[in-house]
Amino acid sequence: MAVPGKKSIGLVLCLLVVVCAGLGIGLQKSVLALDNYEAGLKELKALISVMTLIQEEYVNPEKTKTELLINGAIHGMVSSLDRYSVFFERDEAKEFNDQTQGNFSGLGIQIDVVDGWLTVIEPMPGTPASKAGILGGDRIVEIEGKSTKGISIYDAQKKLKGKEGTSVTLTVARRGEKELIEKTIIRARIETSAVEEKEEKMLDKTTGYIRLRDFTKDAADELETTIKKLQGQGMQSLILDLRDNVGGLLDVAVRICELFVDKGQIVVSHRDRKNQETVYRSERDPLGHFLLAVLVNEFSASASEIVAGCIQDYKRGILVGPAGHKTFGKGSVQTLIDLKALNGASLKLTTAKYHTPKGRSIDDEKGLTPDIFARVADNDRIAIRRAGKSGFIPPEFLGMKAKEATPKEATHAISVDEVFKPDTEKKVEEEDLYDVELYTAYECLKAAEVLRSGTVKS
C-alpha cells in the first residue's frame, strides 16, 4: 500500500477546502476546530489515502468518482452522530423541503425506528398506505425482500419514497397476527392538511375536537382557523389530539403554543453546545381561556412535545394518554444548513436541546408523562384503529340519542360453559369499540365544566 506523499497532502487540503466551502466555514476555522492539529491532519491523510486507493483499485470505476466518495464520507460522518442528523444530497434536499410544505411523493406513512424495527406511526388518510390497509403500529420487517432490522430513518425514507406511479413491496409484522403480511403499494403524490375536515367537530354543544396531524408550514394557521370556527359554534372546551404526531417545524410549534398561553410567557427554549440559551415567548394574545385537554401517546414527538410540555407546565390544560405510555422523548433541535457548494445539498444537524417553560429536558427518550391515563390495553388500541373508531365516541356517551340497533332474533342455543365463561374472554364486537382515550379526555373536561360553572356545592 502506497504511503501518502505530497500529492496526498495536497488532496487533504483540497478536501478541506471542498468540505469547508460546502459548510460555509473558513479553512482556518476548520483547522483550528480540530481536536489536535497534528492528529487531525494525520487522520485526514488516512481518509485521502483510502479514497485514493479506492479510485486506483476498485473494480467498478463508475462508483469511484470523487463526488460520490465525498458524499459517502459525509453520509458516514453525519450518521455517526445521532439518528436525527441527516445529509441530504441535492434531490433529497428538495424532497425534504417539499415534505415540510406538506407535498411529496411516496406511500403516505409516518415512520420511526422502535426497538430496532422500522415502525409505522400512522398512515395518512386517503394515501396509498392507508388504502392498502397499513395500520399504525405495524412493523415493516422487509422492504423489497431485504430486512429492515437496524435500518436508519434516512435509509428507510430513501427506500420508501420514489417517483409517482412506481411500486414498493413491504413485508409487515402486525401484533395479533400469526403470519407476516405482504403488501405491494403504488407510490403517489401526497398532499396533506394539518387539520383534516373530518377530524374537526363539535362532540356536543360545548366540547370541540381537533386532530392535528403535523407541524408543516401552514399548521398554525389551519389550527387557528378551525378553533375560531368551533368557537363560533359554541365551543367552551377543546380536545386537541396530538397522538401519532411526530412533529415538524419549531417556529410552527411556537405559533401554536401562542394560541393557548398568555402573551409574554415563555413557550420553549433551547440550548446549544456552548449552553447558550435561545428563548421563545408568546408574542400575541391567546384565542381564549377555554378548557383544554391534549391527547398524546408514545408517538407524539418533537414539536408535539413542545406544545404538550408548554400546556402542561402552565397547567393551561391536561395531558391524557394511554395507560403505561409517555410521549416519545425527542428533545433535540435540528437546523437545516444549505450546502451551496455541494450542488444544492443540505445538512439537517442536531444543534441544540430544547426545554419546556419550566426548564424540563425530555431528550434521550424521557418523554412527558400524561396527567391522566386512559385505561385501555395496547391490543384494544390496535383493534380500535383497525375498526376505524379513532375519534369516535358513542352518541349515548355524549348524552345524545343512540342509533336504534336492528333487533336480533331470540335464541336459547347456549351452553353452560358459555354462561360461566369469564368476562375477560368475551370477544368485543367492532360495533362496541370506541376511542377510549378521547372519551377519557371528554369526561375530564365535562367534570371541569361543572366545577367552573360553580354548580357543585360543598
DSSP state of 425: G
170 DSSP β-pair partners: 143, 183
- Give the distance from CA 232 to its chain's centroid: 31
Q: Which of 138, 214, 244, 313 is catalytic?
A: 313
Q: Is 403 part of the annotated catalytic residue set?
A: no
Burial 344-355 (b: 16+ CB within 10 A, else e): ebbbbbbebbbb
Query: Which of the 8 DSSP states describes residue 47?
Result: H
d(CA 92, CA 407): 57
Active-site residue among 161, 326, 330, 389? 330
Question: How far is residue 297's CA from residue 245's CA, in Å, rounded to a whole number?
Answer: 9
Query: How far, in Å, CA of 244 to CA of 242, rounded?
Result: 6
Task: Provide the grid cell at 274.
Answer: 456552548
What contacts 291, CB < 8 A, 6 or more positions away? 236, 237, 238, 317, 445, 448, 449, 452
**In 117-234, alpha helices (H):** 128-131, 153-160, 219-231
Cell 419514497 sits on residue = 161
DSSP, res 261: S
Residue 313 catalytic? Answer: yes
Point out the catalytic residue in the list 8, 302, 304, 390.
302
Kindly state the DSSP code that residue 323 receives in the 8-state scheme.
T
Which helix H or strand E contains 182, and what residues bound it? strand 181-186
The residue ranges of DSSP E strands in 203-328, in sequence order, are 207-211, 237-241, 266-271, 277-281, 291-295, 318-322
Rounded Cα–Cα distance for residues 253 and 357 (Å):
13
DSSP conformation class of 429? P
Cα gap 54→61, rounded to integer Å: 9
Instruction: List residues with catalytic annotation.
Output: 302, 313, 330
